[in-house]
Amino acid sequence: MKTIIHADNSDFFRKLMKVFLVEQGFLGSCFSHGADALEAINQGDVSVVITGLSLADMDGKEFIKRIYASSYTGPIIVLTSNNLEAEQQALQYKGVTTCISKSEAWQEQLLPYLTNE
C-alpha cells in the first residue's frame, strides 16, 4: 500500500484529502505543520508528497526546499488555490512534479500521479 504525505494549512482541505486517499486505497497522513510532515517523510517509506503553498509553520516553498535536502526522492505535487501560471512554472522548474489547482477537478487531476508506478 502506498503511503502519501499531505501538508496544508487548511483543516477542511486536509480532512477532504484524508477521505479521498482512504477511498482510493492509500495510507495517507495529513499535517498542518511542515516540520511534522518532514519528520514523517524522514521516518517512513513515503511514495508521494502533496503540499499546499501555505503551512502553519512555514511556506510551501521552504517546505519543498527542505524535502529536497532530505533523502526523499519521490514525486512532490503542489495543490494550490493560486492560479498564477508563472509561479507554478517556477515550482516545476525547481523539480516539483506538477502543480494542481484546488478546483472542482483536483481529484481527477491528482489520481494519475498517485497510481503511477
pTM of the full predicted structure? 0.90
Per-residue pLDDT reduced to its tens digit, 10-50? 999 999 999 999 999 999 899 999 999 999 999 878 999 99
> How many folded domains does the chain comprise?
1
- Output the domain CATH number for residue 8: 3.40.50.2300
Helix (H, G, I), strand (E, B) or coil at 15: helix
Per-residue pLDDT reduced to its tens digit, 59-115? 888 999 899 898 898 999 998 877 666 566 666 656 788 888 887 789 999 999 998
Instruction: Please compute Rg for the chain using Cα positions.
Output: 13
Q: Domain limits at 23?
A: 3-115
22/45 Cα distance (integer angstroms): 17
